[in-house]
């Protein structure tokens, strides 16, 4: 029999789990039927409720925005420095090259320092980099502009009808023209194109579509070596080959074409190979799925897709070799009359004509110099026309590859 509990004795405490189970009427119900506890969203903190925290001693507040230079500031500085440099050049204090480079450096430093003082370090670095890139571009373009200006201004003195319709036969002073050299240049370059373009395109097709293993690696290596071969070596090669069959001292237009083709082939191979690489593979696979042979797929699908790029590469290679002088001096020689047969006798060209007019002037030295500049201008015009034609062909027949 239990003794009565003393009121002053402490009440034994029950475990929390047992208390919760006794007090919760749903303790025996499944967990899915129990009511979910409601989560009270946190109270947003208002900026005004945050107490002011004093800044650490010595910490300076940095402004979010800084000043800005006027829009015309870089141009004003550049113009002012350029005027000072021009005055120094005209006064024979400095040379034109030193004056131009010095003006670019001084203007860049002034713009950077001014921006650093007003706009801060990051904006000043951006302005300085932009100025440096622009100045470097102008320095690189300046020789080209100077060259074009010199050739045009000097070559226009004899850029007339007689220069294109008369040859240099029996001309010892003023007068005459370069009709024979223009015809020779077109004949030699055309023959070189007929030789190098088929070889280059077929070699590129083999390397991209068929080549494997060591043979492909060897051909790629030799193409790379031929790309950097000196032009005089190509001329000596053609001269040696033709001397074996026709005897020493032979000079023909076709010899110059062979020498130029040695220089053209690697350019055509490389440009054509790159164009074939960017043709999507799914075009080839679609043709193969229709049962089209590989050679027909290349002929009807791959080459038409890359046609514009291939033509552009051919035009670039023609423009590259048209101005070569050293191989033509060895192979074609010099001739004052017009020769339209590349397989018979010597044949003149514009580079060789300009070289001889400048190197061996006659009685009227100024007339010879004028003809040399006119020949150089004619050569530049022909090359520019070839580049324009290449761009027009690319725009007309170019295929958008995705």
In sequence order, what are the residues at sequence separation of 6 or more whose Cβ sits closer than 8 angstroms to the Cβ of residue 327? Answer: 231, 232, 234, 235, 238, 256, 259, 260, 263
Degrees, nearest 5: CA angle 274-277-281: 165
pLDDT at 82 over 70: yes
HSE-CB at 383 with a 13 A cutoff on CA atoms is 17
Spatial separation of the C-alpha atoms in residues 399 and 402, rounded to whole Å: 9
pLDDT at position 56: 47
Kindly tell me if the per-residue pLDDT of 22 is higher than 90.
no
Q: In this structure, are 355 and 384 located in the same domain?
A: yes
CATH assignment at residue 253: 1.10.3720.10
Please tell me whether residue 269 adopts helix, strand or coil conformation: helix
Residue 38: the pLDDT is 56
In the block, residue with structure tokens 């300076």: 60
Residue 60 lies in a domain: no
Read off the pLDDT of each residue in 96-109 and give the average, rounded to a whole number: 86
Mean pLDDT calculated for residue range 118-125: 87
The token duo for 261 is 């083709």
- pTM for the model stands at 0.71
For tokens 């204090």, name the residue.
93
The answer to whether residue 41 scores a pLDDT higher than 70 is: no
Residue 35 lies inside a defined structural domain of this protein:
no
| Residues 349, 370 within the same domain | yes
User: Domain containing 287: what range?
Assistant: 165-397
Give the end of a domain, one of 134, 156, 178. 156
Q: Are residues 125 and 214 located together in one domain of the fold?
A: no
* pLDDT-wise least confident of 131-135, 171-175, 247-251: 171-175
Q: Let me know if residue 335 belongs to a domain.
A: yes
Confidence band of 59 (pLDDT split at 50, 70, 90):
very low
Higher pLDDT pick, 318 / 400: 318
Q: Are 130 and 195 within one domain?
A: no
pLDDT tens digits, one per residue of 267-311: 999 999 999 998 888 989 999 999 999 999 999 999 988 888 888
In a domain, 10, yes or no: no
Buried b / exposed e over 169-195, threshold 16 CB at 10 Å, is eebeeeebbbbbbbbbbebbbebbbeb
328-370 pLDDT, tens digit per residue, is 988 988 888 888 888 888 888 999 999 988 888 877 788 889 8
CA torsion through residues 385, 377, 336, 355, sign: negative
What's the pLDDT at 46?
46
Question: How many structural domains comprise the chain?
Answer: 2
Whether residues 148 and 171 fall in one domain: no
Tens digits of per-residue pLDDT, 188-232?
A: 999 999 999 999 999 999 999 888 888 889 988 998 888 888 889
Do residues 202 and 257 both lie within one domain?
Answer: yes
Claim to verify: residue 151 and residue 175 sit in the same structural domain: no
**Percent over 70 (pLDDT), the chain:** 82
Same domain, 150 and 176: no
Last residue in a domain, options 136, 156, 176: 156
């Amino acid at each position: 029999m239990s003794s009565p509990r003393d009121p002053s004795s402490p009440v034994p405490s029950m475990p929390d789990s047992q208390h919760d189970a006794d007090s919760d009427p749903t303790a025996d119900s499944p967990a899915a039927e129990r009511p979910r506890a409601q989560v009270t969203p946190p109270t947003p903190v208002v900026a005004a409720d945050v107490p002011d925290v004093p800044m650490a001693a010595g910490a300076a507040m940095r402004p979010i925005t800084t000043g800005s230079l006027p829009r015309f500031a870089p141009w004003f500085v550049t113009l002012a420095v350029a005027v000072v440099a021009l005055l120094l050049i005209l006064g024979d204090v400095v040379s034109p090259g030193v004056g131009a480079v010095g003006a670019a450096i001084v203007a860049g430093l002034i713009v950077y320092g001014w921006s650093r003082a007003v706009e801060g370090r990051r904006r000043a670095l951006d302005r300085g980099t932009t100025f440096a890139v622009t100045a470097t571009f102008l320095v690189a373009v300046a020789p080209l502009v100077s060259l074009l200006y010199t050739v045009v201004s000097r070559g226009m003195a004899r850029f007339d009808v007689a220069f294109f319709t008369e040859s240099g036969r029996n001309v010892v002073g003023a007068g005459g023209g370069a009709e024979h050299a223009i015809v020779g240049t077109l004949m030699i370059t055309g023959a070189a194109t007929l030789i190098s373009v088929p070889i280059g395109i077929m070699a590129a097709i083999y390397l991209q579509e068929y080549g494997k293993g060591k043979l492909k690696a060897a051909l790629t290596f030799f193409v790379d070596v031929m790309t950097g071969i000196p032009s005089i070596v190509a001329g000596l090669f053609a001269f040696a080959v033709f001397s074996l069959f026709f005897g020493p001292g032979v000079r023909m237009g076709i010899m110059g074409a062979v020498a130029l083709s040695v220089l053209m082939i690697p350019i055509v191979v490389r440009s054509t190979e790159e164009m074939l690489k960017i043709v999507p593979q799914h075009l080839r696979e679609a043709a193969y799925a229709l049962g089209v042979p590989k050679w027909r797929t290349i002929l009807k699908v791959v080459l038409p897709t890359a046609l514009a790029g291939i033509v552009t590469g051919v035009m670039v290679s023609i423009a590259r070799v048209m101005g070569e002088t050293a191989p033509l001096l060895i192979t074609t020689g010099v001739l004052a009359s017009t020769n339209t047969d590349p397989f018979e006798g010597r044949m003149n060209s514009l580079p060789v004509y300009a070289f001889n007019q400048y190197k061996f002037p006659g009685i009227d030295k100024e007339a010879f110099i004028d003809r040399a500049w006119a020949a150089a201008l004619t050569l530049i015009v022909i090359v520019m026309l070839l580049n324009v034609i290449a761009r027009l062909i690319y725009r007309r027949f170019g295929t958008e590859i995705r």
